[in-house]
């Protein structure tokens, strides 16, 4: 069969006619399935003729032997809706996707095999990729344009020139796509310079470039390095993402529209990255690493032309005006009416979220129950924990010695900690160690967090634990948090946990009980705990209470979008009607969590917070997103 898109030296031809690809990135796994059609129609309203999506492996195979293609993971349905709306589709199946997504899309369970190396021709890795592609690629292949579907491009790997130069690996992926039935145009995408293109391209796949500025310079380079082919920007970075603790990013529509105009006027096809960013629901946000871990926020709004809640922005209007010079489009208001779209989707009014009950998690069976004993603290991956918290516990002996009039207890040292740990001794909060994104705006060389080993001091507890001196046995409990696996660069594939062990005085401590807390799946369990446990008295100090579970509620007159204002909370995870909407952190810049309409019930709605650092006293509903640093 013949591919629908024909790449010629004069540009793309679609079914024989000259064609500019005007695509918008919209990741199905970042949008509630009941909103897919709405968001795809908004792409059409902006003037797009194509939608692009990555495929996140870890969404579809959350555990070995488990494959999901339903709900949020129903890629086939997403592509079918795109076809209904008249959009072509570009699919980027990875297996690596970057995307500011946990582990670049790779399942964490892959890392259990110490002999497996990601993104090269390592045999153990390719065996897993091939098995996954056997499941995935047929879903894409049967929806190709040449078979009456919507898929017109399929990408080989992703920005591989920014990671390696294993051409045998790229050829293996290319051949695997073809052998599994891909007949439409194969492409690659890389950074806008020879050094990236030289490692990321492969024969038989059209090379494209990713950039956000200097269009004319990039175009000149592309025509030199990639002659006799149509030019395409596979990722036009028209906005940017956020890391916890860093500043809020914005880019004006006029600035980005100028770059877009240069592309289209010179016949360069484009994919807006992102057209609609969506949300990193649950704990699936990834992280970068520039010497310190930079965990990504729950919001993936990206300052995109279609906002996280679907709202049409000034950037949308600016882009549409440019696109309309190259495609015939009806007036915007008329187009929105045709597509049955509101410029601003329905949302609930601002209002109160009533805090009804707070309990101390450490007083519940979940915190104190016995767990399997491991000779050393296991990594998350060793016990099948993708994301969430790992509770480690055991008894240790401590002793007190007074030095120069000050009491002293030897600290605990956590070697190779990934990422953050809260330590409790006999039910008393001792301290937190590890990554501290609240220091993100301080130069790395001046930061005091994320040292190795991470040290937790106990001396300040001497008068409470050993008021009369001497020594005794105490119970130590450690909660280890995965803040997001790195999704880009040489640290891709790092494991989580206290990987080097826990040291006390002169030796490592062995025989740790390890209990996995997969928080994304624990909404119902935590709801039961908060209903059954004794309520926390108002006068209990936070150090004795944390972490806390907070039950709250709000009333809704209709099913509509809202934003949960968590600016008065500390750091933790929020659930709405049992669904884990994501992580929050008062260090900013994100201060609200988007709650899509399909999660909201007409009438009574339940909110649950697991907070590790503060007892929240006030929650609210907001009408708009808030991105700002609180100064906390």
- Assign 242 to helix, strand or coil: coil
Full DSSP string of 51-70? EEEE--HHHH-SSTT----S
Please indicate whether residue 333 is annotated as part of the active site: no
> Which 3 state secondary structure label does DSSP give 323?
helix
Between CA 15 and CA 25, with CA 21 as vertex, the angle to 5 degrees is 130
Spacing of C-alpha 283 from chain mean position: 7
Catalytic one of 157, 183, 184, 235: 235
In sequence order, which residues have a C-beta less than 8 Å from that of residue 260 and are 6 or more positions away? 236, 238, 270, 319, 322, 323
Neighbouring residues of 620: CB distance < 8 A, sequence distance ≥ 6 = 350, 351, 352, 353, 564, 565
As a whole number of angstroms, the distance between CA 581 and CA 593 comes to 7
**What DSSP character marks residue 248?**
P
Phi/psi at 235 (nearest 5 deg)?
-135, 100
Contact 397, 332 (CB under 8 A): no
Nearest 10 degrees: Cα torsion 143, 144, 145, 151: 90
Residue owning tokens 């080989």: 156
Residues 6+ away with beta carbon under 8 Å from 368: 362
Cα dihedral angle (363, 364, 370, 374), rounded to 10 degrees?
A: -80
The CA dihedral of 466, 469, 475, 477, to the nearest 10 degrees, is 70
Q: Residue 186 pairs with which residues in a beta bridge?
A: 154
Distance of CA 474 to the CA centre of its chain: 38
Q: How many CA atoms lie within 13 A of 534 on its CB side?
A: 7
Residues 418 and 494: beta-carbon distance below 8 Å: yes
Give the strands of the sheet with 619-622, arranged side by side: 579-585, 571-576, 603-611, 548-556, 351-360, 619-622, 562-565, 592-595
Angle at 612 between CA 610 and CA 615, to 5 degrees: 75
Q: Is 168 helix (H, G, I), strand (E, B) or coil?
A: helix
DSSP secondary-structure letter at 591? Answer: -
Query: Of 154, 130, 57, 125, which Cα lies nearest the Cα of 485?
Result: 57
Phi, psi values for residue 125, rounded to 5°: -65, -50
With H, G, I as helix, E, B as strand and everything else as coil, classify residue 35.
Answer: helix
DSSP-derived secondary structure for 445-461: GG--SS-SSEEE--GGG
Active site residue: 102, 159, 477, 520, which one? 159
Does the active-site annotation cover 397?
Answer: no
Residues 467 and 88: their CA atoms lie apart, in Å, by 72
Report the catalytic residues. 159, 235
């Amino acid at each position: 069969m013949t591919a629908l898109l024909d790449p010629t030296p004069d540009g793309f031809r679609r079914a024989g006619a000259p064609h500019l690809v005007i695509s918008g990135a919209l990741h199905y796994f970042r949008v509630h399935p009941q909103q897919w059609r709405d968001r795809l129609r908004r792409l059409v309203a902006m003037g797009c003729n194509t939608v692009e999506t990555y495929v996140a492996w870890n969404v579809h195979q959350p555990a070995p032997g488990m494959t999901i293609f339903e709900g949020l993971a129903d890629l086939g349905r997403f592509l079918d809706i795109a076809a209904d709306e008249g959009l072509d589709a570009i699919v980027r199946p990875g297996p690596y996707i970057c995307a500011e997504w946990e582990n670049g899309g790779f399942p964490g369970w892959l890392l259990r095999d110490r002999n497996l190396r990601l993104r090269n021709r390592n045999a153990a890795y390719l065996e897993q990729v091939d098995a996954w592609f056997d499941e995935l690629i047929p879903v894409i292949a049967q929806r190709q344009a040449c078979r009456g579907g919507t898929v017109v491009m399929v990408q080989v790997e992703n920005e591989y020139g920014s990671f390696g130069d294993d051409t045998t690996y790229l050829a293996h992926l290319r051949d695997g796509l073809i052998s599994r039935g891909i007949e439409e145009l194969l492409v690659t995408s890389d950074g806008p310079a020879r050094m990236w293109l030289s490692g990321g391209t492969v024969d038989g796949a059209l090379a494209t470039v990713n950039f956000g500025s200097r269009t004319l310079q990039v175009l000149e380079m592309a025509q030199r390095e990639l002659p006799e082919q149509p030019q395409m920007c596979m990722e036009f970075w028209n906005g940017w993402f956020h890391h916890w603790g860093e500043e809020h990013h914005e880019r004006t529509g006029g600035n980005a529209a100028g770059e877009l105009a240069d592309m289209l006027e010179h016949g360069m096809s484009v994919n807006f990255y992102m057209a609609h960013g969506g949300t990193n629901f649950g704990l699936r946000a990834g992280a970068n690493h520039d010497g310190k871990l930079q965990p990504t926020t729950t919001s993936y709004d990206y300052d995109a032309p279609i906002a996280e809640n679907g709202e049409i922005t000034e950037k949308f209007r600016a882009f549409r005006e440019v696109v309309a010079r190259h495609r015939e489009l009806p007036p915007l208001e008329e187009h929105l009416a045709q597509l049955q779209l509101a410029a601003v989707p329905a949302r609930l009014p601002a209002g109160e979220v009533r805090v009804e009950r707070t309990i101390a998690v450490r007083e519940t069976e979940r915190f104190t129950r016995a767990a399997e004993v491991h000779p050393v603290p296991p990594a998350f991956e060793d016990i099948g924990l993708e994301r969430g918290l790992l509770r480690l516990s055991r008894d240790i002996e401590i002793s007190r010695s007074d030095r120069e009039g000050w009491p002293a207890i030897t600290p605990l040292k956590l070697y190779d900690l990934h990422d953050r740990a809260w330590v409790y001794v006999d039910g008393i909060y001792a301290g937190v160690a590890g990554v501290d994104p609240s220091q993100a705006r301080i130069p790395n060389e001046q930061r005091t967090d994320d040292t190795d080993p991470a040290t937790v001091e106990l001396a300040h507890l001497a008068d409470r634990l050993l008021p009369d001196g001497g020594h005794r046995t105490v119970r130590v409990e450690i909660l280890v948090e995965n803040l997001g696996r790195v999704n880009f660069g040489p640290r891709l594939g790092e494991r989580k946990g206290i990987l080097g062990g826990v040291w006390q005085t002169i030796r490592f401590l062995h025989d740790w009980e390890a209990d996995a807390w997969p928080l994304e799946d624990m909404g119902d369990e935590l709801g039961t705990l908060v209903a059954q446990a004794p309520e926390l008295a108002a006068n209990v100090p936070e150090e004795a209470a944390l972490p806390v579970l907070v039950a709250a509620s709000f009333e809704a007159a209709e099913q509509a979008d809202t934003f949960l204002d968590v600016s008065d909370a500390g750091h933790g995870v929020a659930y709405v009607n049992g669904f884990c909407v994501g992580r929050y952190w008062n260090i900013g810049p994100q201060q609200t969590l988007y709650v899509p309409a399909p999660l909201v019930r007409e009438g009574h709605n339940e909110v649950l917070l697991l907070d590790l650092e503060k007892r929240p006293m006030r929650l609210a509903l907001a009408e708009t997103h808030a991105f700002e640093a609180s100064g906390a």
